[in-house]
Amino acid sequence: MLLAATRVWLPVAIALAGVVLIVLGHADYTSITASSRSLESAAGVGLLIVAVMVWMINWLFRLSLRSNAEREQEEAARRHFAATGRWPDEE
C-alpha cells in the first residue's frame, strides 16, 4: 500500500496542489511587476514539474528493477549452458 502511495498518489497529490495554485493564481502577466497571484501560479507550475520528476524517478526505479531481473535470468541461463552445454530453451 505504501508502494502504491509513493508511485501513484504522491505525484498525483503534488500535481493536484500545483493545479490548485495555478487556478488560484490566475494572474495577469502583462504588468512589469509580479503580483502575489502571479507568484502563486508560478509555484503551481513548479509543483507540476516536481510531480513529473517524482513520477519519472519512480518509473526509472521500476525500470532498473526489471533490468536486474532480466540480468539474473540471463546469468542463470549461462550457468545452465556451462553445466550442460545447451541453452535452457533448446530442445
> What is the CA angle 24-8-38, rounded to 5?
20
Q: 89 lies in a domain?
A: no
Q: 77 lies in a domain?
A: yes
pTM over 0.75: no
> For the chain, how many structural domains are there in total?
1
Helical residues (DSSP H) of the chain, grouped into ranges = 2-4, 10-24, 36-84
Q: What is the pLDDT along the chain (91 residues), one digit of tens a residue?
A: 888 788 889 999 999 999 999 888 876 565 556 666 778 888 899 999 999 999 999 999 888 888 888 888 889 889 988 998 888 877 6
Q: 15 lies in a domain?
A: yes
Range of the domain at 31: 2-84
